[in-house]
Amino acid sequence: MFELAPTYDVDVPKLERQFRDLSLQLHPDRFAQADPKERRISLEQTTALNEAYKTLKDPARRAFYLLKLHGVDMERDDANARKHMPQEFLEEVLELREELEVAVQARDLTRAQAMAVDVTARQREAQAEAAEALRGMKNSPEDDALVKKASHALGRVRYFTRFLEEVEAFEEEVSA
């Protein structure tokens, strides 16, 4: 929709301008007097445009999308994604979750928040690692190793995101 090359780095201000221009062209209000088929097409195009914009604007969503273009759909199958994650990382996540559960059971919000600070830093590191791998892709045979590196890093991002959501839910529960 935006006629961009499939790359990790995106000129976000340019993307925003293109989005605004395309939104004005495709907005359903411009087709209010059109026949039902044209109104439906306008609505479908606007929906697709909004989804594409959200994907390209967000670095994590953009990274997952780029992997999907390389045949790795991490959002489709959790069991398959877990199968390809390093065992030591999965064990580490299990320990983190157990430690969070202890903090939740003890109603120790301070401990949970401290864990969230650490996990947030690790999440940023994993996102940076994925970005580096995705930036290195050149549509060559070497891309396979970079796809694997990016998928492992984004798998960690996903696990860390879920962990942080659990901490956030605990914070809301305590403050309610």
Whole-number pLDDT of residue 143: 86
- Read off the pLDDT of residues 97-151 as tens digits, 9 standing for 90 and up: 999 999 999 999 999 999 999 999 999 999 999 999 999 988 777 788 999 999 9
| Contact (CB, 8 A) for 103 and 167 | no
HEC readout, the chain: CCCCCCCCCCCHHHHHHHHHHHHHHHCHHHHCCCCHHHHHHHHHHHHHHHHHHHHHHCHHHHHHHHHHHCCCCCCCCHHHHHHCCCHHHHHHHHHHHHHHHHHHHCCCHHHHHHHHHHHHHHHHHHHHHHHHHHHCCCCCCCHHHHHHHHHHHHHHHHHHHHHHHHHHHHHHHHHC
Whole-number pLDDT of residue 133: 95
**135 φ/ψ angles, rounded to the nearest 5 degrees:** -65, -25
Residue 34 scores a pLDDT above 90? no
Residue 157 scores a pLDDT above 80? yes
78 band by pLDDT with thresholds 50, 70 and 90: low
Whole-number pLDDT of residue 160: 95
- Read off the pLDDT of residues 81-94 as tens digits, 9 standing for 90 and up: 556 688 999 999 99
